[in-house]
Structure 1
Amino acid sequence: MQKILIPTDFSENAWNAIDYAMQLFRNKRCTFYLLNTYTPVIPSSRFMAKMIDGVSIVDAVRETSERGLQKTVQRIKTKYGNPNHRFETISSFNLLVEEVKDVVETFGIHLVITGTKGASGVDEVFMGSNTVRIIKTTKKCPILAIPYHFEYVTPTEIAFATDFNRFYTTSELEPLLQMAKMFNATVRIVHVQYGIKALTELQQFNLNMLRRYLGDVEHYVHTVSELSSVSHTLETFSKELGIHLLAMLNYQHSYMEKMTREPIIKRTAFHTQIPLLVIPELGMEGVASTEKEEEPSVEAHN
């Protein structure tokens, strides 16, 4: 995980994700790509101002974006000053979700880290809408979603939620294995069932393969009964076992897909209280893209 993308809107929620990332990878050589997108309203009426003090609205917003990114980099360097870390900034006139997808492909990003502050009140959702959209559209690398107010804890207890209905490839499990080995973590495989019943032959085969992939990583299998929803069940499990990081694969009919589709009344209890590692369905393609011989310049992407 050498190339890490962190979208930021300069909020404290976004800073909390950056803060987590700096501590999580403090002993690793990384390039962090800090991304800010902006979409100023383009005046369509002759009665609307196109200029502010002689500067076009688009130019003014772009300058604010670029200045904010430089301030963020300076804040990181002042707090951490880690020689293992280098930073690139990307300021883009684009929609966030589209730009994340483009940057992941252009720069061969290995991991996207984002804050997850959702809406409030009756509209409160299991994660912020941008985070959910990023998870649904980013198909080539894992997403690590960091809850607002979550204070960094070394992830020595990792839960991997799965129903064993799908075969896992080594490339898909690589992010989980890397994280577990990096922190000498215990992996707790958690299977949520609606009514406890024996595994099918296929499920048992997939579980055996999963355990083989985990190899010498300490791991345990937990089967739990579904409470009011999958998300509520996983939240309760994570609290009871002191889980520091929850990981899951995102594919059709997976827990991740179910959680993003659960009726809002069911998932309000799940506020991503711990970091969530969402691994995309890769098949045999491998994690992210293979390293390009020559890394493209960030400037050309602005």
Structure 2
Amino acid sequence: MKNILLPTDFSKNAWNAVCYAIELFKDEACTFYLMNTYTPHIAHSRFMAASVGGEILEDAARSQSEKGLANLISRIHTEFNNPKHKFRVRSSFSLLVDEIRESVDVFEIDLVITGTKGASGLEEIFMGSNTVRIIKTVKKCPVLAVPLNFKFKAPDEIAFATDFNRFYTQSELKPLLDMAKAFKAVIRIVHVQHQISALTELQKFNLSMLRKYLKEVEHYVHTVSELNSISRTLEVFSDELDIHLLAMLHYQHSYMESITRESVVKRMAFHTQIPLLVIPELGMSGSSKNKRNNVFSFLNKPIFF
């Protein structure tokens, strides 16, 4: 049983991420945790005690959150109704990122799937502020961000962006490998350079180890020149090679960190229409989830009702 966390603000983008998740795991037994957080604005007035006003606003926000989740469950059952899938809802008076981190631990989440921007997100920006915060703070499982207009397509072409400056461990590459094996996908390792030049000895070693880890799946190495920004370069690469999923490891000085630190002006150019899989830095110790079943394997697990 896979545990998938689906944060939602009931926006169109969030619904599209839910649909993608259900399609991605349509052949697997999963428990989906639909989560909505609310933090009502507490209005202060000399005519209203702050505590009383706060309780009223919180009750209204809670009611709206619970109603939204109930409607979401109803829509899912109407449009999908997959007997392999179970759904739980979680409405919480909390900050989004804090609640996600807690839920990952409490419910042993294997994967977080979210939209790339929320209800108030600007259309010109691929990753909204909430998505960036989730990517930066979730350290114990991968995060999959789904663009608004992306309709599900089996990820049989996966790009893995890396600069070969860091040694990747097997535990860190496992989500990528599991995805590739599950969908018989080709992995295209893409290396973005400011100027095309020969690899250093360290880069050569890391590349050789990476290829050993990927020996069970078809893979190719592509070196490309940077176009304005890393995000823009990866967008063009993905478009030209008809990539269905872009994967990156998130660690200090990684491509993913560069993108999340880019200015809003540069991020406005990042209009990629494919899902982004962000894998957290696990190091040699690996993740506690590796002691359980991984996201794309076919193992059973007790269900808690």
Fold similarity call, TM over 0.5: yes
Equivalent of 2:122, from 113, 120, 128? 120
- Hey, what does 2:84 align to over in structure 1? 84
1:297 Cα offset (Å): 7.3
1:260 Cα offset (Å): 1.1
- Hey, what does 2:29 align to over in structure 1? 29
- Hey, what does 1:232 align to over in structure 2? 232
2:159 and 2:275 mapped to 1: Cα distance?
A: 11
Q: Unaligned stretches of 5+ in structure 1? A: none
Letter paired with 2:217: V
8 Å Cα contact 2:127/2:267 also seen in 1 = no
1:63 Cα offset (Å): 1.6
1:48 Cα offset (Å): 4.5
Alpha-carbon spacing, 1:47–1:285, altered in 2? closer, same or farther (3 Å): farther
8 Å Cα contact 2:190/2:222 also seen in 1 = yes
TM-score normalised per structure 2: 0.90
2:99 and 2:141 mapped to 1: Cα distance?
A: 14
8 Å Cα contact 1:108/1:291 also seen in 2 = no
8 Å Cα contact 1:249/1:281 also seen in 2 = yes
CA deviation digits over 1:104-128, x for unaligned, max 9? 111111100000137337xx43401
1:205 and 1:150 mapped to 2: Cα distance?
A: 36
- Hey, what does 2:145 align to over in structure 1? 145
SS in 1 for 2:278: strand
Q: Unaligned stretches of 5+ in structure 2? A: 294-300
Q: CA RMSD in A?
A: 2.2
Bigger drift between 126-135 and 268-277 goes to 268-277
1:138 and 1:296 mapped to 2: Cα distance?
A: 24
1:230 and 1:70 mapped to 2: Cα distance?
A: 40
SS in 2 for 1:56: helix
2:271 and 2:141 mapped to 1: Cα distance?
A: 23
8 Å Cα contact 1:110/1:287 also seen in 2 = no
TM-score normalised per structure 1: 0.91
- Identity, % of aligned positions: 64
Letter paired with 1:232: R
8 Å Cα contact 2:126/2:147 also seen in 1 = no
- Hey, what does 1:250 align to over in structure 2? 250
- Hey, what does 1:40 align to over in structure 2? 40
1:73 Cα offset (Å): 1.2
1:71 Cα offset (Å): 1.4
How do residues 158-237 of structure 1 correspond to structure 2 at under 5 angstroms? 158-237=158-237
- Hey, what does 2:298 align to over in structure 1? none
1:74 Cα offset (Å): 1.5
Bigger drift between 280-289 and 203-212 goes to 280-289
Aligned pair count reads 293
Letter paired with 1:70: A
How do residues 96-107 of structure 1 correspond to structure 2 at under 5 angstroms? 96-107=96-107
1:23 and 1:287 mapped to 2: Cα distance?
A: 26
